[in-house]
Amino acid sequence: PKLSWYKDGRKLTSADGVMLQPGQWKLLLTRRYKANADLKSLFSTCSWCAVPPGVDRVEPVEPVTVVQGSLVTLTCEARGFPLPTLTWMKDGQPLSLHRNLLLDGQETRLQLPDVTRSDEGLYSCVASNQAGSSTKSFNLTVLAILLFSSRLTIPVNSPLELECSASGVPPPTISWLKDGRPLEGAGIRSDAGIYTCTAKNLAGRASHDMRLVVQGEKRLCLTPPRVVQKA
């Protein structure tokens, strides 16, 4: 960044007897004083100046909505002087000991593998130094499906209610399939098969299968009669 110094609201230049040292945040003041007929130079160096941190780059763009089981990577890059310290928080609580927290200079990445509903919340990347702090937040929503067991057995002619609930942003739509086709008919042995519940929204889709077994009387297998000729 370009550095400028001001005194009493006026920008200082080399004509004011100041010198900026390249690559440093220092101001060198030179003045000549006359004492006992000798010329002396007074060199005064300002202590360092601090630049408040700013978050330059974040990924992904907010809001963050993913399907349950996905890998989520939140990236945050900051600037400032001195170099800011980067920390992560979830719902106001620090994640400094998170096993998937990566730091690389002015960039930090938080990885959440195989996310579940418990990972939902407000994640914040905080950059701070002696001059202040800056925060960028990510609101993470996980699209999940709450389903029945993977296998169910019922007697023939018995009523059955299968429940499938899903949540997400935007709210997902739910559809049912039986053996890969839209549901048709009810109340007969042929209802046995694989039922699929699928939830879908702009973030993606998630589905779950369940095998239904209908118990009933065994079907009678008839064999054509065989004529035995007697003598």
Asked, for residue 228, whether it belongs to a domain, the answer is no
Encoding tokens for residue 202?
Answer: 């702009």
Residues 62 and 131 in one domain: yes
Residues 82 and 98 in one domain: yes
Residues 70 and 90 in one domain: yes
Would you say residue 46 has pLDDT above 50? Answer: no
Residues 187 and 114 in one domain: no
**Mean pLDDT calculated for residue range 65-81:** 85
Residues 65 and 138 in one domain: yes
Residues 120 and 204 in one domain: no
Would you say residue 91 has pLDDT above 90? Answer: yes
Residues 139 and 185 in one domain: no
Closest CA to 82 of 54, 51, 108: 51
Residue 25: the pLDDT is 52
**Which range marks the domain in which residue 97 is found?**
51-144
Encoding tokens for residue 216?
Answer: 């009933």
Asked, for residue 227, whether it belongs to a domain, the answer is no
- pLDDT tens-digit map of 173-227: 888 888 888 776 544 557 788 888 888 877 677 777 888 887 764 443 444 444 4
CA neighbours closer than 13 Å in the CB half-sphere of residue 215: 4
Domain termination site, one of 115, 144, 173:
144
Residue 49: the pLDDT is 62
Give pTM, 2 decimals.
0.53
Residue 231: the pLDDT is 42
- Higher per-residue confidence, 124 vs 41: 124
Q: Which residues contact 184 (CB under 8 A, 6 or more apart)?
A: 178
Give the total number of structural domains in the chain: 3
CATH code: domain of residue 116: 2.60.40.10
Asked, for residue 231, whether it belongs to a domain, the answer is no
- pLDDT tens-digit map of 137-171: 889 988 776 555 556 777 777 777 777 777 766 77
The residue behind tokens 């900026």 is: 20
Asked, for residue 225, whether it belongs to a domain, the answer is no
Asked, for residue 223, whether it belongs to a domain, the answer is no
Give residue 20's pLDDT band: very low, low, confident or very high (50, 70, 90): low
DSSP state string for 116-154: -GGG-EEEEEEEEETTEEEEEEEEEEEEEEE---SEEEE
Contact between 28 and 46 (Cβ < 8 Å): no
**Mean pLDDT calculated for residue range 75-102:** 82
Residues 57 and 79 in one domain: yes
